[in-house]
Amino acid sequence: MKKLLFSLLMVFAAGTVGTAVAQEVENGAKIEFEKEVHDYGTIENGANGECTFEFKNTGNAPLIISNAKGSCGCTVPSWPKEPIAPGKTGTITVKYDTKRAGAINKSVTITSNAVNAPTKVIRIKGNVKPAPTSGAPVNTSGAPTNN
């Protein structure tokens, strides 16, 4: 009988601790993005390479973004430095250097106090056209030119 009571007590205690841990995870800031990937498509060389990622704090504590880091020097993020209150939204702006022709496949790693995603990665992708050529036309026919 003592063993049965002890076993039931242990099961009850384990269930109570498990519930407390689950509630702990539920409390805190939570970050939810409207989109996690921005596709520029094909853009002109030197075009405006700025895009925004809107997010919302769906938790019950202020959300603090402590850092946002681009995967290279051509991808520069800016983020709100003040806490985002529960239920409020914020914006992370990413500026890409579009003077680099070719495919875009970059990431921004966000570090915050969000319980659901303390480290979150958002991405940009697309393609930048080559820079336009300038100057005198090139003679490719092999015939002499009259300048």
Residues 3-59 pLDDT 10s: 655 555 555 555 555 544 445 457 999 999 999 999 999 999 999 999 999 999 999
Task: Indicate the CATH number of 28-128 among 3.40.50.970, 3.30.360.10, 2.60.40.10, 3.40.50.2000.
Answer: 2.60.40.10
- For residue range 54-95, what is the model confidence (pLDDT) as tens digits? 999 999 999 999 999 999 999 999 999 999 999 999 999 999
C-alpha 58/C-alpha 28 separation (Å) is 9
Pick from 76, 55, 80, 77: nearest CA to 65: 80
The torsion region of residue 36 among left (phi > 0), alpha (psi -120 to 50) and beta comes to alpha
pLDDT (0 to 100) of residue 135: 59
Ranges of each domain in the chain: 28-128
